[in-house]
A and B are shown apart, each in its own frame.
Chain A
């Protein structure tokens, strides 16, 4: 199953790379699954979506627009990225639950660029270091949706 940029998914078991824990969670697809290296086949690079407002690098999504959320406001945290298995998606739901609209894609793209500017050289998740080719690929792929 292929997912594309800006798809919103619900994982029955979302794995957090930073503390090796997992929990049910919404997440946003950051790169199309079809372009990930083979060792990540059947996996997705995602940003977690939480109900707690983060300090930076986020966009707010309202329940009015994205009716599948349980809280009035949810937040895509672009500085919390993880590789997750497609097998851990909630099979009881039709995936993706939805996708960002054009306005939110533009906002998301701006935040992603801000994040890259601030975090060059660091690891956002264990699998991918923020380097020139990750930045290049992300910009190249997100621009297709603007």
Chain B
């Protein structure tokens, strides 16, 4: 099991503890995307390696790496069901945890950071989560490009995390 797969299972566990027994695929992609953005903001580097590769889709950022990880986790560790929730007129593909790994292959300091980020975003409904995602620099950058090119959305355009501004207090720590 690779690190991304461990982190997906950990996010599902944390969500379950916060009384979210499942996450839709859209929610999971957005949470992982926000984890990557927050990592660029507070460390200057990505949380994941480049294989995570978020690209622009109609409903926001998606990652082929996350899809691959979900495929690998299916049956043994997660299950995906179509569930209708009150905030959306149609059923969504929702992921729930079936089994946890014996040990999560995630460092303690990484878990601290994941918990900090998830505590900010897990309580949000999908609409609020979407607003947070669309307010990040990589999404603003792609939306500006879309306006310039007068297209609805630049499907498949790789999102640029280098556009994320480093937090000013982190700059103090690095440069003081």
By a beta-carbon cutoff of 8 Å, the part of chain A in contact with chain B is 31, 34-37, 39-40, 109, 113-114, 116-117, 127-129, 131-137, 139-141, 143
Q: Do A132 and B43 contact each other (CB < 8 Å), given the known contacts A117-B173, A117-B176, A139-B167?
A: yes
**Assembly CA distance A141 to B107 (angstroms):** 19
Q: Do A139 and B115 contact each other (CB < 8 Å), given the known contacts A37-B108, A128-B108, A132-B43?
A: no
Between-chain CB contacts (< 8 Å), 27 pairs: A31-B112, A34-B115, A34-B119, A35-B112, A36-B112, A37-B108, A37-B115, A40-B108, A113-B169, A117-B172, A117-B173, A132-B45, A133-B110, A133-B112, A133-B113, A134-B109, A134-B112, A135-B170, A135-B173, A136-B42, A137-B42, A137-B112, A139-B167, A139-B169, A139-B173, A140-B167, A143-B169
> Which chain A residue has the least Cβ–Cβ distance from B117?
A140
* Contact of A116 with B112 in the complex, beta carbons under 8 Å: no
Q: How far apart are A44's CB and chain B's nearest CB, in angstroms?
A: 13
Interface presence of B116 (CB below 8 A): yes
Q: How far apart are A115's CB and chain B's nearest CB, in angstroms?
A: 9
Of A31, A116, A133, A134, chain B has the most CB atoms within 10 Å of the CB of A133
* Contact of B42 with A139 in the complex, beta carbons under 8 Å: yes
Q: How far apart are B39's CB and chain A's nearest CB, in angstroms?
A: 7
**Assembly CA distance A114 to B167 (angstroms):** 16
Q: Do A131 and B116 contact each other (CB < 8 Å), given the known contacts A113-B169, A139-B42, A139-B170?
A: no
> Which chain B residue has the least Cβ–Cβ distance from A34?
B119
Interface string of B82-103 (1 = CB under 8 A from A): 0000000000000000000000
* Contact of A114 with B176 in the complex, beta carbons under 8 Å: yes
Q: How far apart are B42's CB and chain A's nearest CB, in angstroms?
A: 4
The 8 Å CB contact of A128, one of B109, B115, B170, is B109
Interface of B, helix, strand, loop or mixed by DSSP: helix
By a beta-carbon cutoff of 8 Å, the part of chain B in contact with chain A is 38-39, 42-43, 45, 107-113, 115-117, 119, 167, 169-170, 172-174, 176
**Assembly CA distance A1 to B43 (angstroms):** 30
Q: How far apart are A59's CB and chain B's nearest CB, in angstroms?
A: 17
* Contact of B116 with A140 in the complex, beta carbons under 8 Å: yes
Which residues of the partner chain B approach A36 to less than 8 Å between Cβ atoms? 112, 115
**Assembly CA distance A40 to B115 (angstroms):** 13
Which residues of the partner chain A approach B107 to less than 8 Å between Cβ atoms? 133
> Which chain B residue has the least Cβ–Cβ distance from A36?
B112
Q: How far apart are A45's CB and chain B's nearest CB, in angstroms?
A: 9
Which residues of the partner chain B approach A132 to less than 8 Å between Cβ atoms? 43, 45, 109
**Assembly CA distance A128 to B107 (angstroms):** 10
Excluding A116-B173, A117-B173, A136-B170, 20 further A-B contacts by CB distance (< 8 Å) are: A31-B112, A35-B116, A37-B108, A37-B112, A37-B115, A39-B108, A40-B108, A113-B169, A113-B173, A117-B172, A128-B109, A132-B109, A133-B107, A136-B39, A136-B42, A137-B113, A137-B116, A139-B42, A139-B173, A140-B38
